[in-house]
A and B are shown apart, each in its own frame.
Chain A
Amino acid sequence: AQSVAQPEDQVNVAEGNPLTVKCTYSVSGNPYLFWYVQYPNRGLQFLLKYITGDNLVKGSYGFEAEFNKSQTSFHLKKPSALVSDSALYFCAVRDTYKYIFGTGTRLKVLA
């Protein structure tokens, strides 16, 4: 079965600093990976996805993610964090007809 793991429950970063939210995956076959963000009292919103091709995927709101096959990782990154980026971030993987989500990482950007 496919799975993803988010090793950090919370990440704190100062505004203006680069941020990284980690995700590792375990799949059989080619991985189809996603990042979603959840703001308070809202549903999840799609940020970006990796299917095939370039290992660096660009997404919404200035976020990007780096796919690393040898390390089975798909970390979410942003060069300069904003206070408004504070939210709950989920990594996900497609598993046939469903999507499996990680446990989520709470990002807190400090002013």
Chain B
Amino acid sequence: DSGVTQTPKHLITATGQRVTLRCSPRSGDLSVYWYQQSLDQGLQFLIQYYNGEERAKGNILERFSAQQFPDLHSELNLSSLELGDSALYFCASSAAGGATNEKLFFGSGTQLSVL
């Protein structure tokens, strides 16, 4: 068990809908990373937060947004969903920020299916 909790584990929804994915980092970790894993694009970095502040952004669509709350949990919001958004979404955490070359601890992911 990595100590990173993601909910829900599975999510099935329809095109055009909006969903929220939740991540609780390991106790004491200040950084949260979001990744999207799909068969054709591998593991794509979406966004990183450190202690509530956005620190790095990848190829995240404008329909997607995220935030990290004062208790350090994070939420990834996906709106106007399209079939192509179907993927496994991972959250990872680390004690500090990416600049320290720390290892990441990954959650088990949320499998999103858009029908």
Residue B58 lies at the interface, judged by CB distance under 8 Å to chain A: yes
With CB as the reference atom, state the residue of chain B lying closest to A42: B108
Count A interface residues, CB 8 Å: 23
CB-contact partner of A98 in B2, B33, B105, B109, under 8 A: B33
Report if B66 contacts A (CB, 8 A): no
Residue contact B108 to A98, C-beta cutoff 8 Å? no
B4 CB–A CB distance under 8 Å: yes
Partner of B45, one of A32, A43, A49, A100: A100
CA separation between A34 and B4, bound complex, in Å? 19
Closest CB in chain B relative to A91 CB, distance in Å: 11
CB distance from B55 to the nearest CB of A (A): 5
Q: A34-B103, A102-B42, A104-B43 are in contact. Are A97 and B108 (CB under 8 A)?
A: no
The 6 A-B pairs at the shortest CB distance, nearest first, are namely A43-B106, A97-B56, A46-B103, A97-B98, A101-B43, A103-B42
Residues of B within 8 A of A104 (CB): 42-43
Cβ contact within 8 Å between B90 and A44: yes
- Seen from chain A, the residues whose Cβ lies within 8 Å of a Cβ on chain B are 32, 34, 36, 41-46, 49, 51, 90, 94-104
- Chain B positions within 8 Å of A96 at CB level: 56, 98-99
Contact A99 B42 (CB under 8 A): no
B31 CB to nearest chain A CB (Å)? 8
Q: Known: A45-B2, A45-B106. Is A98-B101 also a contact (CB below 8 A)?
A: no
Contact across chains for A98 and B58 when beta carbons are under 8 A apart:
yes
**Could you say which residues of chain A place their CB within 8 Å of the CB of B58?**
98
- The answer to whether A43 and B42 touch across the interface, beta carbons within 8 angstroms, is no
CA distance A100 to B45 in the complex (A): 7
Q: What are the interface flags for B89-106 relative to A under an 8 Å C-beta threshold, 1 for contact and 0 otherwise?
A: 010100001110101111
B25 within 8 A of A: no
Do residues A97 and B2 form an inter-chain contact, with CB atoms below 8 A?
no
Contact with A along B69-113 (1 / 0, CB 8 A): 000000000000000000000101000011101011111110000
